[in-house]
């Protein structure tokens, strides 16, 4: 019991009569003091007020003088309560904190279900399957199976907290086992994003409370993709013209039109408007993961909506295409010269490496051909917005950030132009 009024010292007090009443959780005590002074009896009134917790509030005053409140923050698998505690210097302080805490718990009252993270991830995959491309769903599944679930899979969802999630993600990104390599920035970011999305899904299902994951990812390694200089570009062009074939022409479609390797593999002769000199990019080819030891080749729409685009065909390439076109049907695949199936990107990748070597170009990644197109256009003063559309990017910033490379020759020319 706590008193808010001070005890009054009443002179010549001979007797005190108390009466009590309760109101809104408080007990009020009133006393009537009877005094004798100069043979006269006078009555003086004073009051004292004490605070007492209501029954069922789960608030009490501790021996150390502090107030304590408790609330049910969750339940174990056998439905017994998991208690949380609130402390304060006064009854009112604890009651206010406890009210807020109970509202938070009620808002995120957890369901009885408490699946493992593996079981939750399967439910999440099913929920997003219709909203993403099959290749995207397959990539998510591969990332979960190979990186995330071996570490987080056995945990019960309601047992997860910030500490467990962050330490588990660190184990995924930078495993202590030397037999497993440290993940790069891109894959680390994908793992973090997937775990966050699945946790948000668990919150939506009311089987997990909101959790903030704060993890420092590995630094981004600067891109070391080189670009072809003017002499090397001429060597490639001369090599293709010396013995043009659709597979060799694919190099020019990447170097002078900016196509991705999967987009080249997905081309059919019907995508070429040779009369008006327009190439329509409408599909791409990719091998995707299906199950352990099982993959499949899929043909689908391009990477993003902006990747579906029409590109003007340069005059030199248009002339070579007209020479190669001998009346094939629109359904014939450009690289394979067959309407059965397209060429697989990883097979064409090896072919491109051989072609570049035969053209006496230093060994570079075939994707450097696309980098070369972007960098050459920027160096020539091409409008970034137009270039972004030609590359199939959704944002011009992507074009500048990823593909604006400069070689030594261009640096030298710029220095000579400025300082002569």
The rounded distance, in Å, linking the Cα atoms of 167 and 310 is 47
Nearest to 375 by CA among 220, 225, 195, 181: 225
The pTM of the full predicted model, rounded to 2 decimals, is 0.61
Quickly tell me which residue has 């080819």 as its tokens.
Answer: 285
Contacts of range 304-308, beta carbons closer than 8 Å, 24 or more positions apart: 304/392, 304/394, 305/394, 306/389, 306/392, 306/393, 306/394, 307/263, 307/281, 307/392, 308/281, 308/282, 308/392
Q: Please, which residues bridge with residue 333 across strands?
A: 268, 338
Q: What is the pLDDT of residue 27?
A: 47
Nearest to 11 by CA among 55, 52, 51, 44: 44
Model confidence pLDDT, tens digit, residues 200-211: 999 888 888 888
Percent of the chain residues topping a pLDDT of 90: 35
The rounded distance, in Å, linking the Cα atoms of 280 and 308 is 8
Q: What is the pLDDT of residue 300?
A: 81
- Reading the block at residue 197, the tokens are 């999305």
3-state secondary structure of 34: strand
Model confidence pLDDT, tens digit, residues 348-395: 999 999 999 999 998 678 888 998 998 888 888 888 889 899 988 888
- Going by the DSSP 8-state scheme, the letter that residue 145 receives in this structure is I
Q: Which helix (H) or strand (E) is 46 found in, with range? A: strand 40-51
Nearest to 95 by CA among 48, 63, 61: 61
Model confidence pLDDT, tens digit, residues 154-208: 999 988 888 889 889 988 888 877 667 788 888 888 999 999 999 999 988 888 8
Check pLDDT > 80 for residue 319.
yes
Model confidence pLDDT, tens digit, residues 58-83: 899 999 999 999 987 766 656 677 78
Check pLDDT > 60 for residue 16.
no
Q: What is the pLDDT of residue 250?
A: 95
Higher pLDDT, 383 or 313: 313
DSSP state string for 59-96: EEE-TTS-EEEEEEEEE-TT--EEEEEEEESSHHHHHH
Higher pLDDT, 21 or 279: 279
* Cβ pair 265, 343 in contact under 8 A: yes
* Cβ pair 246, 264 in contact under 8 A: no
Q: What is the pLDDT of residue 353?
A: 93
Model confidence pLDDT, tens digit, residues 268-294: 999 999 999 999 999 999 887 766 677
Higher pLDDT, 109 or 327: 327
Q: What is the pLDDT of residue 149?
A: 94
Check pLDDT > 80 for residue 219.
no
Nearest to 210 by CA among 161, 144, 148, 155: 161
Q: What is the pLDDT of residue 259?
A: 94
Provide the pLDDT confidence category of residue 49 given band limits of 50, 70 and 90: very low
Provide the pLDDT confidence category of residue 420 given band limits of 50, 70 and 90: low
Q: Which of 30-39, 103-112, 332-341, 401-410 has the highest mean pLDDT?
A: 332-341
Q: What is the pLDDT of residue 182?
A: 80
3-state secondary structure of 122: helix
Looking at every residue in the chain, the average pLDDT score rounds to: 80
Check pLDDT > 80 for residue 51.
no
Q: What is the pLDDT of residue 53?
A: 62
Check pLDDT > 70 for residue 303.
no
The rounded distance, in Å, linking the Cα atoms of 191 and 285 is 25
Q: What is the pLDDT of residue 312?
A: 95
């Amino acid at each position: 019991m706590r008193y808010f009024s001070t005890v009054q010292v009443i002179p010549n007090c001979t007797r005190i009569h108390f009466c009590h009443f309760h109101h809104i959780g408080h007990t009020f005590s009133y006393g009537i003091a009877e005094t004798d002074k100069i043979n006269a009896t006078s009555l003086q009134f004073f009051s004292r007020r004490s605070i007492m917790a209501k029954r069922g509030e789960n608030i009490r005053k501790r021996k150390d003088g502090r107030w304590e409140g408790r609330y049910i923050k969750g339940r174990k698998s056998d439905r017994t309560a998991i208690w949380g505690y609130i402390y304060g210097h006064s009854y009112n302080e604890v009651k206010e904190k406890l009210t807020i805490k109970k509202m938070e718990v009620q808002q995120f009252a957890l369901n009885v279900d408490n699946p493992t993270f593996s079981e939750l991830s399967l439910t999440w995959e099913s929920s997003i399957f219709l909203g993403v491309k099959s290749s995207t769903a397959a990539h998510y599944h591969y990332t979960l199976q190979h990186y995330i679930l071996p570490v987080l899979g056995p945990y019960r969802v309601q047992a997860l907290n910030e500490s467990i999630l962050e330490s588990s993600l660190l184990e995924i990104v930078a495993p202590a086992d030397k037999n497993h390599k440290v993940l790069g920035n891109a894959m680390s970011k994908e793992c973090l994003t997937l775990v966050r999305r699945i946790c948000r899904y668990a919150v939506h299902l009311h089987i997990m409370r909101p959790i903030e994951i704060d993890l420092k990812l590995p630094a981004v390694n600067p891109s070391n993709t080189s670009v072809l200089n003017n002499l090397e570009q001429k060597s490639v062009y001369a090599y293709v013209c010396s013995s043009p074939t659709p597979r060799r022409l694919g190099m020019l479609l990447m170097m002078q039109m900016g196509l991705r390797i999967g987009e080249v593999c997905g081309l059919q002769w019907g995508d070429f408007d040779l009369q008006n000199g327009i190439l329509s990019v409408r599909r791409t080819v990719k091998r995707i993961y299906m199950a352990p030891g099982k993959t499949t080749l899929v043909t689908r729409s391009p990477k993003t909506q902006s990747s579906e685009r029409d590109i003007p065909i340069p005059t030199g390439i248009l002339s070579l295409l007209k020479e190669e076109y001998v009346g094939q049907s629109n359904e014939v695949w450009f690289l394979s010269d067959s309407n059965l199936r397209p060429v697989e990107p990883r097979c064409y990748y090896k072919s491109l490496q051989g072609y570049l070597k035969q053209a006496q170009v230093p060994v570079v990644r075939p994707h450097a051909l696309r980098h070369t197109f972007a960098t050459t256009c920027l160096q020539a003063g091409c409008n970034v917005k137009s270039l972004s559309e030609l590359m199939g990017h959704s944002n011009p910033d992507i074009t500048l950030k990823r593909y604006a490379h400069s070689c030594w020759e261009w640096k030298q020319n710029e220095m000579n132009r400025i300082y002569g």
